[in-house]
Amino acid sequence: MSTQDASTADLFGLEPQAPSIAGQRFEARLSRLLIADGAGFATRDVGRLEVTLEGVPGDRHMGMSRPADSRVPWYPRGTPIRNCRQVTILALDELEEIAQRLGVAEVKPEWIGANMVLEGIPRLTQLPAGTRLHFPSGAALAVEGENMPCRHAGAAVGAFYPEAEGMDVAFIKAAKGLRGLVAWVERAGEIVAGSEVSVRVPAQKLWIR
Amino acid sequence: MSTQDASTADLFGLEPQAPSIAGQRFEARLSRLLIADGAGFATRDVGRLEVTLEGVPGDRHMGMSRPADSRVPWYPRGTPIRNCRQVTILALDELEEIAQRLGVAEVKPEWIGANMVLEGIPRLTQLPAGTRLHFPSGAALAVEGENMPCRHAGAAVGAFYPEAEGMDVAFIKAAKGLRGLVAWVERAGEIVAGSEVSVRVPAQKLWIR
């Protein structure tokens, strides 16, 4: 970690203290690839997908735009907005932590709509917006950011633990910061389960007004 | 901090060391609104625009996708990629600093393709990816990030200072971190020059592998 480029701050007479870090690149692995092409929320494994700029063909989150929902309460519900939530990405270590917090044996990625399970990215959910994921075919995703846990996902987990009560609401708290990422397709192409993923994290600098 | 142990520790509730800051909201002002609807790079003032999810109708950067260029050398040139560069946003204080560094009287926003000039946002170019700009009509933009200075913009400035040499290349260095932002339209609507802009900066936390 380095401190902010002091020259810019000095010339504007502003405080030069914002923490920053240069861009980072490393390899990770796509351990599972899934699609939500059934009636509901759940996904199922596939060996490969041909993603387009609209997302995953046949997946419920496909589209260049989507209707505004309760995640973006500043837009009237149903208004078309650009779809930055085409692809749902999860990590197993984070799901294990959610399960532990909920006091259940496990939370499976396919229960809560995973399109991808990635291995080798510590604190996946914290990856900054703008991170790019490059696949061997040339296909690439761009990270929108943390997927905020909602009651729908909590209810989906609760359905597997009928003895537990209030799982839908408990999930919102237990999964905060651990429920993975949403992303959009930046470049179309083939994505194959089990392949490497090249992760490019942009330079970061805290912006403090 | 040592890689694997530290990430596991974070996940299981021990103190994460990465600097962070909560979301921020404040008001700024759209002092000028412009469109690139001529032959070249330059923009001209307009009183209002009706933006769509494709961007600014009639502007050269309009489109849901764009051909990959030298800014994204990891994609073959010309490959369609999602267009996150629909709107170019500048701040006058940053342009003044570029002019000073170049030793010229001024760098006008319309010379280097500004669609918007914003007032009241310190260190505009440093605003994090994912920042949203909300306009009174409900129209909204999402910030992709810093617009990296290129030779085309430098040459456009140089054309106004024919006595100066090598302005195209000098601009790349002088404008780094000061050339403003690129953004895309998240919600369509009217945007009016002179109006307020509500800025919503997401929570930030440095991600360090």
Q: pLDDT tens digits for A117-127?
A: 999 999 999 99
CA-based nearest residue to A27, from A123, A136, A177, A147: A136
**Of all residues in chain A, what percent carry a pLDDT higher than 90?**
90
Is the pLDDT at A81 greater than 90, yes or no? yes
For residues B141 and B183, the answer to whether their CB atoms sit within 8 Å is yes
pLDDT band at B40 (very low <50, low <70, confident <90, very high): confident
What's the pLDDT score for residue A16?
55
CA distance, residue B115 to nearest chain A CA (Å): 20
Q: What is the ipTM of this complex?
A: 0.90
What's the pLDDT score for residue B200?
98
Is the pLDDT at A10 greater than 50, yes or no? no
Is the pLDDT at A61 greater than 60, yes or no? yes
Best of B118, B126, B200 to disrupt the A interface by mutation (most A CBs within 10 Å)?
A: B126
CA distance, residue A114 to nearest chain B CA (Å): 19
CA-based nearest residue to B88, from B126, B35, B37, B138: B35
Cα distances (angstroms) measured from residue B106 to each of A206, B35, B97, B112, B146: 29, 20, 9, 12, 21
The residue that leads in pLDDT, B2 or A184, is: A184
CA-based nearest residue to B146, from A35, A207, A57, A138: A207
SS3 B198: strand
Search chain A and give the residue with CA nearest B84.
A186
pLDDT band at B8 (very low <50, low <70, confident <90, very high): very low
Search chain A and give the residue with CA nearest B13.
A97
Q: Which residues of A touch B12 (CB under 8 A)?
A: 97
Search chain B and give the residue with CA nearest A121.
B209
What's the pLDDT score for residue A7?
41
CB contact under 8 A, B207 and A65: no
What's the pLDDT score for residue B196?
98
Is the pLDDT at A6 greater than 50, yes or no? no
What's the pLDDT score for residue A130?
97
pLDDT band at B209 (very low <50, low <70, confident <90, very high): very high
Is the pLDDT at A77 greater than 70, yes or no? yes
**Cross-chain CB nearest to B201 (options A127, A187, A207):** A207
pLDDT tens for B82-107 read: 999 999 999 999 999 999 999 999 99
Q: Using CA atoms, how far apart are residues A87 and A60, in angstroms rounded to an integer?
A: 10
Is the pLDDT at B9 greater than 70, yes or no? no
What's the pLDDT score for residue B41?
85
Search chain A and give the residue with CA nearest B75.
A138
pLDDT tens for B176-197 read: 999 999 999 999 999 999 999 9
What one-character-per-residue DSSP string does B98-109 give? HHHHHTSS---G
pLDDT band at A155 (very low <50, low <70, confident <90, very high): very high
Q: Using CA atoms, how far apart are residues A94 and A90, in angstroms rounded to an integer?
A: 8
CB contact under 8 A, A75 and B140: yes
Counting every residue written for chain B, the total comes to 209
Q: Using CA atoms, how far apart are residues A197 and A116, in angstroms rounded to an integer?
A: 11
pLDDT band at B16 (very low <50, low <70, confident <90, very high): low
Token reading at B203 = 């929570």
CB contact under 8 A, B53 and A145: no
SS3 A126: helix
**Cross-chain CB nearest to B207 (options A84, A97, A204):** A204
pLDDT tens for B105-141 read: 999 999 999 999 999 999 999 999 999 999 999 999 9
Q: Which residues of A touch B23 (CB under 8 A)?
A: none
pLDDT band at A161 (very low <50, low <70, confident <90, very high): very high
What's the pLDDT score for residue A51?
98
Q: What are phi and psi of B187, to 5 degrees?
A: -135, 135
Q: Which residues of B touch A123 (CB under 8 A)?
A: 7, 10-11, 16, 207
**Cross-chain CB nearest to A82 (options B12, B138, B185):** B185
Find the mean pLDDT for residues A178-201. 98
CB contact under 8 A, A186 and B12: no
Q: Which residues of B touch A189 (CB under 8 A)?
A: none
